[in-house]
Each structure stands twice: as structure tokens, then as C-alpha cells.
Amino acid sequence: MTIYFHYKNPRQPPTPSPHQNFPTVSKFLGFLSPNQELMASRAAMAMLARRVPAVGSPAVRVRFVSAIPFPASGGDSSEKKAVTGPAKEVEKTVASYWGVEAPKIVKEDGTEWKWSCFRPWDTYSSDMSIDLQKHHVPVTWGDKMARWTVKSLRWPTDIFFQRRYGCRAMMLETVAAVPGMVGGLLLHCKSLRRFEHSGGWIRALLEEAENERMHLMTFMEVSQPRWYERALVMTVQGVFFNAYFLGYLVSPKFAHRVVGYLEEEAIHSYTEFLKELDKGNIENVPAPAIAIDYWRLPQNATLRDVVMVVRADEAHHRDVNHFASDIHCQGHELRELPAPVGYH
């Protein structure tokens, strides 16, 4: 199955505006010509039809770098192994009983969409017009606690990383991707428990987590963690996940405020990163391919362009989390106000 995707010129202004770009199927179809829409619809129908497994389903080609044996599953299966090069890339063909097959996506120029971790309809042009200077002035005791918490976390971070902004960005993104997932998880459970809608906040927070994880996938292309940095990430994640989980259970208002201030600090860090790039202290290398496709950057984009769009993302996260905290401050629940889904 092949879905043809019309990849827009990144230099053209997005239509509709990024604030209205909701990552839904309808948004995806909006990129397609009428003929391509028809093809995509037929492909979707074919996928739905294939949910009923049939004997002799089409073979699915799975490619991964591993020496781990593929688990046996129901139905007929056959394997074809091909070891190529030092990376021991193994290509297997599996006759799938389950009818699960990822559609092949082809860009406008005929080249295959090479990312399986995100699809063309997940990409966007960053809204660079967002105000980077916005700041929530702490008023309540809780706000001051949240600000103090973030400031106290910045002190050891500054000492550890000094001016190694590439490494700093990569490491901090491993933490930044946690709150959205924890918040989304807890709201998901709350929605199930109380038999009530979430107002779109589950999706909005999970989108934030995914966006932060894409920041990490990008920065790990330009900076590789050392063994002790990996150990630090595991330790910090273990502590931070549990602390944020408990904090969100006790006070979502405080938890969102903390993230709002964390995002303000992230904007500051990326501004410092840009200064170092401009001074020439950090080499302005070409942008990783994953970043060019995810943010629809021009082919000649550089690391500086990537830092600019990531910083704009952080400003959006700042606004979403301060907004969420304000909703709680005003005595409401998040579900009472529609969430800013697709807010990039």
C-alpha cells in the first residue's frame, strides 16, 4: 500500500496557520490534491478491511538492527535474513497472519518517506512569531515555590554542563519529555475513573511529550552522551518521574506552574546556545535530516535554525503549562476549557 504525500515548500507560509493545524487525518488530507485524497481514502478503507485477518495475508518486511531472534507468532511465518555490513542489519520478511502493515508513504518528489517514528502529518512549520519574553510573575505562595524549585534545579545544571550547550540541551530534553506524559497519563486515568471527557487535555499533553522527545531525537544527532551521562539520565528520570507523578496527584496547579517556569529556563538556555553559535564557539553544522523533515526546514538549514525552532516550541510549552495552571488557580478543572491541541 502506498500513500502519496504532498510535501509543502517550507518557505511558503503555512495554510492554515500553525495555531489551526490540528494533527488529525483531516489535516493530513488537507495537504492532498482531490485525486490523492481519493487514493488515501481507498488506502484507509483497505487498512480497515484488513483488520479481519485472512489466511495468507501479505508479507510484511521488517528491517531492524538486531541479533535478537524474532518471536514466533500464530499463523505461517517465514524469515529471510540478510546480514549487510558491520552494523549487522537484518532484513526479515514475515508472512503476517494479523494483517498489520504500515502503509508506504511517498513524498511529492517520489522519494520514500524514511521516518517510521513520525509521519508527514506530524510535521509542522514552527510559529516563530511567539513572544519569547513572556514571564509569569509569581504572586501566590505556590507560584513562588514553583519558581524557587526551578531556580534551585538550574544551579547544579549550570555547574555540571558549563557552556556545553549541545550536551546540555540533549540531557535536559530527556527530562522535559516526562511531565507531558505523566500529566497525560494521569488525566487519562481520571477520565476513565470519572466517566468524563478530558477537554482534549490528554492529547495536548501527550503532544507536548512527543514534541520534547523529538527535540531529544534531534539533539542526539549532534551530541552523543557519555556513559556517566547515560547513568545520570537514568537516575534523574527515576527520581523526576516519581516526584512529578506524586506532585501532579497532589496539585496539578503546582505541577503545571513548575513546567511553565522550566520552559522559561529552557528558552533562556537556547538563547545562550544561539549566542555561542553566533560567536563561533559552537560550530554551526548542517541540521540533522530528522529536524529538516520534522520542522519542514529548508534543505540547507543549519543547527542554528534547529535551535530557533526548538526555542519557539519551548515558548509554546511555557504558555500551555502556565495556562493550565491558571485554569486551576481560577477554580476550574482543565476539562472545562478546550485544550490547545496542535499548538506549536
Measure the CA–CA gap between 218 and 59, rounded to whole angstroms.
32
Query: Is residue 296 close enough to count as binding Fe ion by CB under 5 A?
Result: no
**DSSP secondary structure string, 262-323?**
HHHHHHHHHHHHHHHHHHTSS--PBPPHHHHHHTT--TT-BHHHHHHHHHHHHHHHHHHHHH
Residue 108 Cβ vs Fe ion, minimum distance, rounded to whole Å: 29
Please give the residues from 14 up to 43 whose contact with Fe ion meets the rule CB under 5 A.
none
Q: Which stretch binds Fe ion (CB under 5 A): 142-150, 168-176, 178-186, 299-307?
A: 168-176
Query: Is residue 213 close enough to count as binding Fe ion by CB under 5 A?
Result: no
How many positions of this chain bind Fe ion (CB under 5 A)? 7
Measure the CA–CA gap between 273 and 166, rounded to whole angstroms.
8
Binding-site member from 176, 202, 303, 334 for Fe ion (CB under 5 A): 176
Residue 16 Cβ vs Fe ion, minimum distance, rounded to whole Å: 24
Binding-site member from 127, 207, 212, 305 for Fe ion (CB under 5 A): 212
Binding-site member from 317, 328, 335, 344 for Fe ion (CB under 5 A): 317
Binding-site member from 296, 314, 315, 321 for Fe ion (CB under 5 A): 314
Tell me whether residue 305 or residue 314 sits nearer to Fe ion (CB atom). Answer: 314
Is residue 241 classed exposed, middle or buried when 0-12, 13-18 and 19+ CB atoms within 10 A define those classes? middle
Q: Which stretch binds Fe ion (CB under 5 A): 4-12, 102-110, 122-130, 262-270?
A: 262-270
List Cα–Cα distances, 151 to 3, 134, 270, in angstroms: 48, 17, 16
Q: Looking up cell 503555512, which residue turns up?
A: 14
Interface residues toward Fe ion, by CB under 5 A: 173, 176, 212, 215, 263, 314, 317
